[in-house]
A and B are shown apart, each in its own frame.
Chain A
Amino acid sequence: RKEVEQDPGPFNVPEGATVAFNCTYSNSASQSFFWYRQDCRKEPKLLMSVYSSGNEDGRFTAQLNRASQYISLLIRDSKLSDSATYLCVVNPRSGGSYIPTFGRGTSLIVHP
């Protein structure tokens, strides 16, 4: 089983739609979790951290399910500018250091 798995998509949705992505991870000792956004040929940019209690930032909601070892990202009222690749990043602690592991990313295309 891959360390961090994401459905590559693409998810093709109309403006205003609600879309959700999941990401599963294999290391049960994983410590911290993030969603990043990556535009084509650009660097990953932190979208939000994912906390055990779930967290929301405007139209974006992230949740963590430790029992099932997955995190999710929900985007409400999609905008054209949300079109990007969304990367799941999991931080399994290894010997006291942080080595974040990236998923392959889920591609989102929001169309008019």
Chain B
Amino acid sequence: EPEVTQTPSHQVTQMGQEVILRCVPISNHLYFYWYRQILGQKVEFLVSFYNNEISEKSEIFDDQFSVERPDGSNFTLKIRSTKLEDSAMYFCASILGSSGYTFGSGTRLTVV
């Protein structure tokens, strides 16, 4: 079964540092998403990406965040200057059309 792959599985970073979270969506999927889930809280939408550009973003996705699809397969989320409150699980997801979303196994980001 096709998978969405995320790396790294766990990232520890110091406050103020930049991090890049990587995702390889399912190859024929068209829409890509980043979500985050703070421990014990709900899954929150960050950004959606279609046709090589951002299609929607939430209030959480401020100027500290950016996304790229640098080479047609990878889909990255960059946090420029991490804050303690950025500590969360970050999930990448992709979808072909109106079928269900396939999530990657997530990156646990810990900001210290």
Residues of chain A whose beta carbon lies under 8 Å from any beta carbon of chain B: 31-32, 34, 36, 41-46, 49, 87, 89, 91, 94-95, 97-105
Known contacts: A44-B91, A95-B56. The answer to whether A32 contacts B42 by CB under 8 A is no
Number of interface residues of B (CB under 8 A): 25
List the A side residues contacting B106 at CB < 8 Å. 42-43
Separation of A108 and B15 alpha carbons in the complex (Å): 36
Q: How far is the CB of A25 from chain B (nearest CB, A)?
A: 14
- Is B19's beta carbon under 8 Å from chain A? no
Residues of chain B whose beta carbon lies under 8 Å from any beta carbon of chain A: 31, 33, 35, 41-45, 48, 50, 55-56, 89, 91, 95, 98-106, 108
Separation of A94 and B50 alpha carbons in the complex (Å): 13
* Shortest beta-carbon contacts, A-B, top 4: A46-B100, A43-B103, A102-B43, A97-B55
Q: How far is the CB of B29 from chain A (nearest CB, A)?
A: 12
| B105 & A32 in contact (Cβ 8 Å cutoff) | no
| A104 & B42 in contact (Cβ 8 Å cutoff) | yes
